[in-house]
Structure formats: C-alpha cells, structure tokens
C-alpha cells in the first residue's frame, strides 16, 4: 500500500497517546508492508521538530519510500480546497498534504490530525472538490486504523 504520511505520524511516535500505534505503523514500513509517501512539506515542517523526531525521519529515509514534489496540479487542488473553505489559510499545509496525496493517487493519507484531516466532514468536502476536478476520492485514516487493517488482512490470508 502506498500511504502518504503527514507530520503527526512521526511526532506520534513520541506522544504517550499515539506512541504504540505510530511505532507499529513504522514497523510495517520497515517490513515493506507499507510504501511511505513523503513530501517536501513534511520535510520542511520537521526542520523545527524535536531532535528525536528528526532522527526518526533520518532513519525512515533509509526505507523504500517515495518522495513527492509539489506539482502544479497539487497547488491548484490545494487552492481549490482553500477556496472551498475546507480549512482556513492558517492551516493551508494540511490542505496541501491532502492535495499531494490525491494527485499522487495514494491509497491512504495517514494522520493523527483529527481537527483538519481525520474528520468525516472535511474528508467529504475534500472529496467533493477532488471529484469536481476529475480526481478520485482520498481516504484519510489514523496509523492505528492501518495497523488494524493490515493485521486483519494477515489473519484472513
């Protein structure tokens, strides 16, 4: 599965509430069950992150991952999300994460951002814009959802 990671997934490895699921998710990355998609936006956001998060990113960069550049199509989609007021300009990077994942045709975008991303109302709005512009829908889930899904797949195989 090609899964786009937002910044919260790596930070979650050091957060008491999200630590276990985030680390399980990264184990699946290292076992090549998941192909992570990361963007220059994630890299930029993490330049100010605590050292332990930056070190985790450095280790993850050794995995088989796909780096996404900000394309014209992603910028246009991002601007359409902002014009539709799905998120405010203050949270424009969240919309850019969704645009990058959509344009790259990621299977899923993973995040712990419940306010702007893992939110059914916003997901529906993002997908309304996606469909109106000829893109497919985006699925947004938490790392724990992905871990559970892959474990259930293993059990039924």
Q: pLDDT tens, 100-132?
A: 999 999 999 999 999 999 999 999 999 999 999
Distances (CA, A) of 73 to 79, 100, 149: 10, 9, 30
Burial of residue 143 (CB within 10 Å: 0-12, 13-18, 19+) is: buried
Q: Where are the domains of the chain?
A: 2-156
pTM of the model: 0.94
CATH class of 2-156: alpha beta
Q: How confident is the prediction for the chain on average, in pLDDT?
A: 95
Q: Map the chain to HEC letters.
A: CEEEECHHHHHHCCCCCCHHHHHHHHHHHHCCCCEEEEEHHHHHHHCCCCHHHHHHHHHHCCCCCEEECCCHHHHHHHHHHHHCCCCCHHHHHHHHHHHHHHHCCCCEEECCCCCCCCCHHHHHHHHHHHHHCCCCCCCEECHHHHHHHHHHHHHHC
Phi first, then psi, for residue 59 (nearest 5°) are -65, -40
What's the pLDDT score for residue 63?
A: 83
Q: Dump pLDDT digits (tens) for 59-110.
A: 988 888 999 999 999 999 999 999 999 999 999 999 999 999 999 999 999 9
């Amino acid at each position: 599965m090609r899964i786009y990671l937002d910044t919260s997934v790596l930070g979650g490895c050091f957060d008491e509430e999200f630590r276990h699921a985030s680390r399980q998710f990264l184990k699946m990355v290292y076992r090549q069950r998941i192909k992570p998609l990361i963007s220059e936006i994630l890299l930029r956001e993490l330049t100010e992150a605590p050292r332990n998060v930056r070190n985790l990113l450095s280790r993850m960069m050794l995995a088989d991952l796909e780096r996404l550049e900000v394309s014209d199509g992603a910028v246009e989609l991002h601007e359409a999300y902002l014009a539709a007021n799905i998120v405010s300009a203050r949270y424009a990077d969240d919309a850019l994460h969704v645009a990058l994942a959509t344009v790259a045709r990621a299977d899923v975008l993973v995040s712990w951002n419940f306010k702007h991303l893992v939110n059914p109302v916003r997901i529906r709005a993002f997908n309304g814009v996606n469909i109106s512009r000829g893109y497919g829908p985006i699925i947004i889930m938490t790392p724990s959802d992905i871990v559970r899904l892959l474990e259930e797949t293993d059990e039924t195989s």
